[in-house]
Amino acid sequence: MFFWAIIGMKLSLARGVSEDKAQPTSKTPLWQLDVGALGYVQWPGPREELDRPGKDQICFPTSSLVAITFVTREPPLALPRRGQSEAALPFRLHALFVDTSSGQVMEKREWPTASERSGIEPVIGGRFIVVTPDKLMLYSSALEVVKELELFFGREAIDWRVDPSPGGKYLVVEYQPQSDSARGAGYTDFEWRNLWINADDLQVLRAWTERGMGSHQWTITDDGILFDGWKIGKPDGPFDRLCHPYPQPYCSGGSLVNNHTVFSSSGGSERGAWMALISTSGESLMHQDLLHREILRKLVHSADGRRFALALDKGRGGSAILDIAPQYSLNRIIVYDLAARKWIYTLDPKKQGFKHIHGLALSPDGSLLGLITQDGTLEVYRLPSSE
């Protein structure tokens, strides 16, 4: 279904991380689009779950196209049967595809799904995959279906996630079978099943099963190396520990920002809250402290592996003595250039007029930053060049 919406545009400049580290950049978005008026609804889970896999509501399939996704609950076609839960009702995944140069909505698509956690994952070659618990659907950059892969676990999984490799060459699908829930409270030998999938043609390259209390949260590099935040190695092993020998300063496991670099952070220690970069071979590349009472809310990276962006919240108020938690709001968004080894951009949300975001993304080439504000406004910012 096609429809068009034209929006106004405005330009300005943005402050960098510090006077000596930043380059002149745009403080206001290239354009703004009220996606709330086009039906967008935010993820209904807690805002603290913003960084959980599978819930990103904004992504860039290409540097010229940004996609906004959201899920709505479909009204029942008949009266619900006795004992039928509300969660059993069908959902519908919606996507708005917006031109990054003009802010014009180019197309709107929708798909039926069994889960409100469904979404879109950009993959290699400007393509994207529509992710639902029933099947994966590979689309070309022209929004045409290339291939589909049925997922046999469907609605039967207790939990599931789909995690792409840094450049979008592969996917790891992880799920927990429903049968585990029937084994009763106190059962600790939970089963987790994993699929390694080629994103170019949706071929399953490998399947394996693990047991334990929690998920290993596997992801994979574009070179075919498995990583679970702590261990890294080939699918057949052996696996090396990222922080070895343990403990190491500024190393607590982390997330891949490209095929050879891991972002690590800690919310508090004898050194205070900090963030660091570590090579997949264990070499320390960068570390620095966070500001007082700051916490990491969101980490995203560009598909080309050159940049990553952080959304950092700051706590205000609260009392440890009275057991009153602080109130958190977005404090800053910062962008790091891995090739230049420096921070190149800072966005101050207070100056932009918002306190929270519902999504954050970088374009594949790292030239654009996109976000959704708390009032349902899509904003895209131009980032400085590497030069």
Quote the tokens at residue 293.
């009472």
How much is the pLDDT for 179? Answer: 60
Question: Can you tell me the distance from the alpha carbon of 41 to that of 68, in angstroms, rounded to the nearest whole number?
Answer: 10
Look up tokens 């190149």; give the residue. Answer: 344
Question: Can you tell me the distance from the alpha carbon of 369 to that of 363, in angstroms, rounded to the nearest whole number?
Answer: 7
What's the mean pLDDT in 14-40?
68
Higher pLDDT, 179 or 15: 179
Domain positions in the chain are 31-75+90-382
Question: Can you tell me the distance from the alpha carbon of 53 to that of 356, in angstroms, rounded to the nearest whole number?
Answer: 19
24-28, 208-212, 310-314 — which is least confidently predicted? 24-28
Residues paired with 236 in a beta bridge: none
Q: What superfamily in CATH does domain 31-75+90-382 come from? A: YVTN repeat-like/Quinoprotein amine dehydrogenase (2.130.10.10)
What's the mean pLDDT in 201-218?
83
How much is the pLDDT for 303? Answer: 97
Q: How many CA atoms lie within 13 A of 18 on its CB side?
A: 4
What's the mean pLDDT in 198-218?
85
pLDDT (tens digit, 9 = 90+) per residue, 45-78? 544 444 444 468 999 999 999 999 999 988 765 5
How much is the pLDDT for 23? Answer: 40
Average pLDDT, the chain: 83
Question: Can you tell me the distance from the alpha carbon of 293 to that of 273, in angstroms, rounded to the nearest whole number?
Answer: 8
Sheet holding 119-122, edge to edge: 119-122, 128-131, 135-139, 145-150
Residue 305 burial class via C-beta count within 10 angstroms: exposed 0-12, middle 13-18, buried 19 and up = buried
How much is the pLDDT for 154? Answer: 60
One DSSP character per residue, 9-69 reads: B----B--SSTTT---B-SS-SEEEEGGGGT----SS-GGGTTSTT---EEEEETTEEEEE
Where residue 21 falls among pLDDT bands split at 50, 70, 90?
Answer: very low
Higher pLDDT, 157 or 198: 198
